[in-house]
Amino acid sequence: FRLAPRINAPGRLGKPEISFQFLTCSDTVSAMELVDKLEQINLERRKLEQKSIEEVYAECERLDNRGDRGLVVYGNYHSGIIGIIASRIVDRFHKPAIIFTEDAGDTSTLKGSGRSVEGINLYETLKKCSDNIIQYGGHAMAAGLTLEKKRLSEFQDIFNCVIPKEGTGFDIQPPEELYIDYTPRVDEIFNTTFINYYKHFEPFGNGNPEPIFLLADQKINRASTINNHLKYSIIVNGKNYRGIGFGMADKLNIVQDSSVQLAFKLKKNVFRGEEYTELHAIDILPTA
C-alpha cells in the first residue's frame, strides 16, 4: 500500500511513462531520480485530492441529509482522482457514489467514476440508467461512465430511483454472529502509537478484512441521529472521538440509557485539513 499509490500516481495525472521508466530502469542513480519524481507526483496527487475532498464531503452531507440513496456529485475535479474521491465517499457515507468532472476533450460531456457498497451492483444500476448515459463500463463495485452535462440532473434523479430502498449496503443489518478480532482496553488503541502502527495493516479488503474491535463496557457521549444513522462520540483520556453507526438510528435509546457493548472498525478521516480517527459501529448492544 506504500508503493502502489506512488506507482499509480503518474498515470492518474497523465504521466504514466514515468512509472514505466522507473519499473524498467536498470541504473541505480537514474532509478533514485525517478523515485524522487514519483514521490513528488504522489504529493501533487494528494494535494489535489485534499483540495477537492472537503467540497465533495459538504455536498454529500447535503445529499445524504435529504435522503438520497446514491450520492452523485459534479465539480471541477482532476479526472485522475475522481475514482479515489468516490471511494472516500463510500467509506464515509456507506452509499453508492459517482463523482463527475468535465471531460477534457469536450466541455459538454462529463466523465464520471463510481464506487459501490456490498448489496448494490453498480454496473447493473447503471444499466437501468443507460438511456441517459453515453457509455459506461465496470463491475459490481466500480464503474466509469460519460454523460451529457445537460442530462446530469435527470441522471441523478433516475440513479436514486433505481437504487432499491431495501437491501442496500446502508440498510444491511449486522449478522446474528459477529466475530470480534480483539477486545482492547481503550488506552491500548486510542493513542498515537497504535494509530500510526495500525495503518500499516492496510489496505483492507478481500483477503485482508478490517479488524473488528469490541469495547465491552463503554459509555457513549452526545448521541444523536441524522436520517437513519446514529452519530455519537466517546471520550478517552479527555479526548473526544467521533463515531457513526450507519442505519443504526434505532439504537439511540440504547446508547442514552447506560454503558453498551460497542463493536466497531477504526477509520481515519480528514475534515478541513485535520486528520482524525472515527469509529464506525458494526453493532451496539446493552452491556450484559
3-class DSSP state of 111? strand
How far is 115 from 96, CA to CA, in rounded Å? 6
Phi-psi region of 94 (alpha: psi -120 to 50; beta: other; left: phi over 0): left
pLDDT of residue 171: 47
pLDDT of 162 strictly over 60: yes
CB 235 within 8 A of CB 254: no
Query: Which carries the bigger pLDDT value, residue 166 or residue 94?
Result: 94
Averaged pLDDT of the chain: 87
* Identity of the amino acid at 51: K
Segment 159-167 shows an average pLDDT of 76
Question: Is residue 173 over pLDDT 60?
Answer: no
- pLDDT given at position 172: 45
pLDDT above 60 (res 133): yes
Please give the distance of CA 43 from its chain centroid, rounded to a whole number: 20
pLDDT in tens, 205-232: 777 888 999 998 899 988 898 877 899 9
The answer, as to whether pTM is greater than 0.95, is: no
Instruction: Please check whether residue 220 is in contact with residue 256, taking contact to mean a CB–CB distance below 8 angstroms.
Output: yes
**Top-confidence residue, 51 or 243:** 243
CA–CA dist 192, 99 (Å, integer): 33
How far is the C-alpha of 208 from the C-alpha of 193, rounded, in Å?
22
pLDDT at residue number 288: 67
Per-residue pLDDT, averaged over 20-48, amounts to 92
**Residue 4 pLDDT exceeds 70:** yes
**Which whole-number Å values give the CA distances from 8 to 12, 84, 260, 285, in the listed order?**
6, 11, 43, 42
Beta-ladder partners of 245: 230
Among 104, 78, 103, 100, smallest CA distance to 89 is for 100
Summarize the confidence of residues 53-79 as an average pLDDT: 91
Confidence bin at 167 (pLDDT 50/70/90): very low
CB atoms within 10 A of CB 285: 15
Q: Report the pLDDT value the prediction gives residue 176, as an integer from 0 to 100.
A: 58
Q: How far apart are CA 116 and CA 16, in angstroms?
A: 27
Query: What pLDDT is stored for residue 1 in this prediction?
Result: 67
Give the pLDDT score at 91.
Answer: 86
Least confident of 14-23, 35-44, 240-249: 240-249
Helix (H) or strand (E) holding 192: helix 192-198
**Cα 179–253–182 angle (5° rounding)?**
20
Contacts of 70 (CB under 8 A, 6+ apart): 95, 96, 97, 98, 125, 159, 160, 163
Q: What percent of the chain has pLDDT over 70?
A: 93
**Residue that wins the pLDDT comparison between 172 and 20:** 20
Pick 236 or 121 by higher pLDDT.
Answer: 121
Say if residue 166's pLDDT is above 60: no
Of the two residues 174 and 225, the one the predictor is more confident about is 225
Do residues 248 and 233 lie in contact, with contact meaning Cβ atoms separated by under 8 Å? no
Residues 6+ apart with CB under 8 A from 178: 212, 263, 282, 283
Over residues 226-239, mean pLDDT: 85
Has residue 194 got a pLDDT over 50? yes
Task: Count the Cβ atoms, other than its own, within 10 Å of residue 146.
Answer: 15
Q: What pLDDT does residue 151 have?
A: 93
